[in-house]
Structure 1
């Protein structure tokens, strides 16, 4: 039996700049709970509502916790596609659904010379997974729509898909692959195109 998908994607977007800020704080504090508290108490994300500060900081910390210290260090100083690639790794490690979609649909379509990511491709994948994962089958139509929009926003924010739903492969440097390490080489499968 397959493990359950984690579906609580409360961040709604990748929030790249906020994620960088959190990672840099972590490298100073080395405690994710302290990082989250400082973000909320000092309003480092400049959000008016305390509830928003709590929700968004929780989401970002939840994702970044999946990076090793060396990966977080790489992410904190990375630029360009290296930055987006490491953040995508953190998101995929947090949400198995996103990882499976990225590998089985986005990367696969690109490999088979299909350069777009139409809504139908997402919907077919969702229905296939709903047969395996009852937590997906139980979602309301509204919940499904919100999740689809969130996943698309994450893909766009991390530069894997553009706003026209065209697949846009990342081109991280060899330093990204080295930061990921040979023990995580299989995770490169979430990226469309060859990642060197």
Structure 2
């Protein structure tokens, strides 16, 4: 399966994801939600083209959420909204899930939470052999993909601290999740907890990556 690399149109943006979720609760139809968001410039974009790109990417992420997850995104606390926006990103962007599972989770498991540029370079070099689409993009696009992912990790609370000398990118940490977030994620698939650096039940670990779902129509 090819990686989806169009996600750079938006970072996590939980506040904007919340806006779309709230409109969808009213409209109960994704096409009507799209029209309402764009017509009212609900995302407060500077241009019509920017609004279309932003709305499209965020909506496609949100379409992967269950109704209960969408409702929490629309009505929950700031922390719960961030968690649901991140869950939606994990389910749409396989690359994000893979980085968390294969790099960030391994850093915590090895009790070496400092994320270094070399960790990411090693991951991408390996993935380019498996996913040639990563190597096929222009260097500017490649850098945008990598920087957007790092920014999303910070927004989601998985990476803290500023980048520093010696190639240090920050410190990996496990975000705090409310009981409701844990319940909704586990109810769908406990393997998705890996995306929050929480170890799923043993029987779910082997299928964690395979269970990142495609967008619902």
TM-score (norm 2): 0.83
More strand by share: 2
Partner secondary structure for residue 108 of structure 2? helix
Q: 1:24 maps to what in 2? A: 22
In 2, are the aligned partners of 1:10 and 1:56 still within 8 Å (CA)?
no
The 5 A counterparts of 1:146-157 are 146-157=144-155
CA RMSD of aligned residues (A): 1.8
Give the aligned partner of residue 166 of structure 1.
Answer: 171
Q: Distance in 2 between matches of 1:129 and 1:7?
A: 13
Tell me the CA shift for residue 168 of structure 1: 2.8
Contact 1:111 1:192 in 2 (8 A): no
Q: Which residue in the other structure is 1:192 paired with?
A: 197
C-alpha distance in 2, partners of 1:117/1:34? 42
TM value normalised by structure 1: 0.91
Q: Which residue of 2 aligns with 1:113?
A: 111
1:96 to 56, 76, 94: 94
Pairing of 1:170-185 with structure 2 (within 5 A): 170-185=175-190
Task: Name structure 2 gaps, 5 residues minimum.
Answer: 163-169, 201-217
CA distance in 2, matches of 1:50, 1:186: 38
CA deviation profile, 1:79-102 (whole Å, cap 9, x unmatched): 243322221111011110111111
